[in-house]
Amino acid sequence: MNIGIVCYPTFGGSGVVATELGKALAAKGYHVHFISYSQPARLDFFNPNVFFHEVSIYKYPLFEYVPYETILASKIVDTVKQYKLEVLHVHYAIPHASAALMAKNILLEQGIDIPIVTTLHGTDITLVGKDPTYEPVVSYSINHSDAVTAVSESLKNDTIKNFHIQRPIYVVPNFIDFSRFTKQKKEHFKMAIAPNNEKILVHTSNFRKVKRVEDVVKVFALVADKIPSRLLLIGDGPERMNIELMAREMGVCDRVTFLGKQEQIEEILSVCDLFLLTSETESFGLAALEAMACEVPVISSNTGGIPEVNVHGVTGYLSNVGDVEDMAKNALKILTDDKILHQFRINALARANDFHIDKILPLYEDVYLSLVKAPQKS
């Protein structure tokens, strides 16, 4: 089967899910065609079943704004026809689903009916989508897709609550590829980061306001007050500078390391003791799942889809958004007793296994197969 995947080429979130999904489908023999404005971050290898089609954005001097959605729709039409795509999987309602629907209508006039699968990831629904400016297009895109999936029950419920939805939404959770995300022996990393056997706390994100990284630093300061510890902050984004200033003001910056964007995040997670995810909203929390796969328990807020991943008292603990005292108290429960930490590590790995790619990939395949008339492996 020839599958088109439309996604953002970014390091985190939906871009990673789309890329890892495409890689796994390609490994099973499907021909996977990525359509994006630049090469997705994790698509840096050769596989004869993987193709990349760049949406080239040329800024015509007449237009103040580049009409990206129009360019994307044209690219989709061309790619579907040229490579005989049989299904198009778009990640994000806007602009990907709306552009795909425009392409679908153009292709219909040419006698080609390409099914569109739209996956909702969160920001399109919980933040962007709630802006009334976008509501009609988001509702239309969901209602006219041939199948819609959401990455958590929570996101599905939010979508139904906030939009005028007239079609079923299937929950297909995010997944883990254990061939990559697994605890590795990286003792030299540990020695470099925590030479005196300090506990290592970690947070990864794109440092947007919604992540509340300031709470990560506050939790860390409370923990560091009680036990020798270090904080690793991975990723980059708009709040990074404020967070650095805050760490200085709180007198913990000597124990906080900003690592920026990292490709081999699993190597760093392998030496960590606790993952912090303090978000205001989070439709799933893939970053927490990746940590759990590397045997790192999670202290998180109890918002959105996080409770569907992190199990309170088993794989970590959940607290109300902003309750940094409770988060620090829970962190210390795990970090001050090695037996407890060990048990939480085992539990985190076991829970992550529920999201094994081998369990989740068939759910997407079923969605495709239900839409494609005479599926052929090619």
146 or 290, CB closer to ligand GMT? 290
**Cα separation, 322 vs 319, whole angstroms:** 8
Do residues 308 and 284 lie in contact, with contact meaning Cβ atoms separated by under 8 Å?
A: yes
The CA-atom distances, in angstroms, between 274 and each of 28, 234, 306 are 34, 14, 16
Coil, helix or strand at residue 32: strand
Q: Which of residues 206-225 bind ligand GMT (CB under 6 A)?
A: 206, 208, 210
Q: Which residues of 131-164 are buried (b: 16+ CB within 10 A; e: fewer)?
A: eeebeebbbbbbebbbbbbbbbebbbebbeeebe
- Does 122 help bind ligand GMT (rule: CB under 6 A)? yes
- Find the binder of ligand GMT among 4, 9, 12, 235 (CB under 6 A): 12
173 or 230, CB closer to ligand GMT? 173
Helix (H), strand (E) counts: the chain = 13, 13
**Cα separation, 120 vs 320, whole angstroms:** 25
Coil, helix or strand at residue 111: coil
- Partnered with residue 170 across adjacent β-strands are 149
- Judged by CB under 6 A, how many residues of this single chain contact ligand GMT? 19
- Find the binder of ligand GMT among 174, 204, 229, 330 (CB under 6 A): 174
**Cα separation, 324 vs 220, whole angstroms:** 9
Nearest approach, Cβ of residue 93 and ligand GMT (Å): 11
- Does 297 help bind ligand GMT (rule: CB under 6 A)? no
- Does 299 help bind ligand GMT (rule: CB under 6 A)? no
- Does 278 help bind ligand GMT (rule: CB under 6 A)? no
Coil, helix or strand at residue 329: helix
Q: With CA atoms as reference, report the closest residue to 250 among 228, 285, 223.
A: 223
122 or 129, CB closer to ligand GMT? 122
- Find the binder of ligand GMT among 20, 158, 282, 290 (CB under 6 A): 282
Tokens describing residue 52: 């990349």
In the bound complex, which residue of the shown chain has the CB atom lying closest to ligand GMT?
A: 13
Nearest approach, Cβ of residue 255 and ligand GMT (Å): 26
Nearest approach, Cβ of residue 320 and ligand GMT (Å): 17
Stretch that binds ligand GMT, among 47-55, 64-72, 202-210, 251-259 (CB under 6 A): 202-210
210 or 293, CB closer to ligand GMT? 210
Q: Which residues of 291-321 are buried (b: 16+ CB within 10 A; e: fewer)?
A: bbbbbbbbbbbebbbbbbbbbeeebbbbbeb
Nearest approach, Cβ of residue 319 and ligand GMT (Å): 17
107 or 117, CB closer to ligand GMT? 117
Do residues 292 and 351 lie in contact, with contact meaning Cβ atoms separated by under 8 Å?
A: yes
- Does 21 help bind ligand GMT (rule: CB under 6 A)? no
Stretch that binds ligand GMT, among 48-56, 138-146, 266-274, 277-285 (CB under 6 A): 277-285
- Find the binder of ligand GMT among 286, 324, 331, 361 (CB under 6 A): 286
95 or 285, CB closer to ligand GMT? 285
The residues of the shown chain that bind ligand GMT, judged by CB under 6 A, are: 12-14, 17, 121-123, 126, 151, 174, 206, 208, 210, 281-286
